[in-house]
Structure 1
């Protein structure tokens, strides 16, 4: 389901945002990123134990979810909480309601194998998705790292 926002919950209960870091590349909203002292960087499977954030669009600049940031732009990212729904970009595959997801390449979510940590559950219309398509996912308690 393509929508015009990344966070799909009620406006009165938006999650905490990070908006004082630059993006380290030309990233599309809806990918997972990690945060350093100065930048937001695309997350990959090797970042599974780090705190993962969901890169949003800059609504206050009229940036839509299909428009990429330029490297060096100030980014906006959410600190997701279990149970919240976000539009996040997926790896190419066929997804069914309830499929468990983990972080893959390019900041995209992908289906889990039996030993991988579940960070979200597919909560959209079942079907085939191309790499980078947005879909609604529900954040799992596994999204939180052990340190949190």
Structure 2
């Protein structure tokens, strides 16, 4: 359900999400996952041991969700809150409604597997998604998928 904003709400609550603004350390698309370092926003490829954030758009510059940041641009990243809805970039795969997701290659969400942190749940139209598709996700109260029981 592609839209023109990364933060999706709930917008009726009057809630304004908290953001961090720092230079991006690469050419990143809004909707990808980053972490905040002392000096920059850097793309991440795992949620393990990270404080993940979603890269938003620089609305003050008229940036669209399809416009890639240039390395060194000031990026806007959202601090994640459980229950909030965002559009996030997806890895190419087929996704089911409410499927648990983790962060994978290039800061894209992918299906969570055993012993990976779940950061969000798929909340868009189920089915096959192309790489970099923007899809609605609901932020999870992060937990780790348990390993299968030995038996």
TM-score (ref. length: structure 2): 0.90
Q: Which runs of 5+ in 2 are unaligned?
A: 144-151
Which portions of structure 1, spanning 4 or more consecutive aligned residues, are displaced by more than 3 angstroms? none
Tell me which residue corresponds to 1:24: 25
Tell me which residue corresponds to 2:120: 120
- Whole-angstrom distance in 2 between the partners of 1:24 and 1:75: 9
Deviation at 1:59, TM superposition (A): 1.0
- Whole-angstrom distance in 2 between the partners of 1:110 and 1:37: 27
Q: Aligned-pair RMSD on alpha carbons?
A: 1.2
Q: How big is each residue's C-alpha offset from its partner over 1:87-126, in whole Å with a ceiling of 9 and x where there is no partner?
A: 0001100011010000101000000113222110000001
Higher strand share: 2
Tell me which residue corresponds to 2:104: 104
Higher helix share: 1
Q: Is the 8 A contact 1:25 1:71 kept in 2?
A: yes
Structure 2 residue matching 1:8: 3-state secondary structure? strand
Deviation at 1:48, TM superposition (A): 2.0
- Whole-angstrom distance in 1 between the partners of 2:17 and 2:49: 21
Q: How big is each residue's C-alpha offset from its partner over 1:30-88, in whole Å with a ceiling of 9 and x where there is no partner?
A: 0000111110000112x521111110001111100000011000000000100000000
Q: Which runs of 5+ in 1 are unaligned?
A: 144-148
Q: Is the 8 A contact 2:89 2:135 kept in 1?
A: yes
TM-score (ref. length: structure 1): 0.92
Structure 1 residue matching 2:138: 3-state secondary structure? strand
